[in-house]
Amino acid sequence: MTATHDTHDGSSTLGAGAGESSGRGISVLLYSSDRAVRDAVRVGVGDSPADDVTIDRWHECATPDAVLMAVRDDSFDVLVLDGEAQPYGGMGISRQLKNEIFQCPPIVVLTGRAVDGWLATWSLADAAVPRPVDPRRLATAVADLARR
């Protein structure tokens, strides 16, 4: 199996995927204005967040406009949005998507602190993972939402 990695500029790179699996292959949109956060999320979640879930494609976005365009024009199984992105955070984008996109994919937001859970609720996100990001917790959230 080969995983595709789409960057915010539309280019793609191929990476070695997980071994053959009978699990469900999914596509994930990842938004953060910070490349280090995007890299940490991709590495933390990996290509196989659970035994029954593999990530076939990562699509990265660095701007809110890129997120909105990608979600409207493409199909994703899970969205991971950085609540601390600048100048427009992932929680605001989450709320906008949930209100504007029919059958919006499930969303995980990365919050600045554990006490920001109420903001994640306001954002209508399906799951929230606080910083510092625990890779296992984030992988579990992605896998759980992919199974829905």
Domain coordinates of the chain in residue numbers? Answer: 2-146
Residue 4: what pLDDT? 57
Backbone φ and ψ of 123, nearest 5°: -75, -10
Residue 18: what pLDDT? 40
Low-confidence stretches of the chain (pLDDT < 50) are: 1-2, 9-21
Q: Which helix (H) or strand (E) holds 111?
A: strand 107-111
Q: Which token pair is 105?
A: 């994919």
Residue 114: what pLDDT? 82
Residue 9: what pLDDT? 45
Q: Are 141 and 106 in contact (CB under 8 A)?
A: no
CATH fit for domain 2-146, picks 2.40.30.10, 3.40.50.720, 3.40.50.2300, 3.40.50.620: 3.40.50.2300
| Angle formed at CA 114 by CA 80 and CA 6, multiple of 5 degrees | 15
SS3 131: coil
Residue 117: what pLDDT? 83
Residue 111 CB partners (closer than 8 Å, separation 6+): 83, 84, 91, 117, 119, 120, 128, 129, 130, 131
Q: What is the pTM of this model?
A: 0.86
Q: Are 14 and 107 in contact (CB under 8 A)?
A: no
- Alpha-helix residue ranges (DSSP H) falling in 31-84: 35-45, 64-73
Residue 116: what pLDDT? 85
Q: How far is it, in rounded angstroms, from Cα 115 to Cα 35?
A: 25
- Residue 27 is given by DSSP the state E
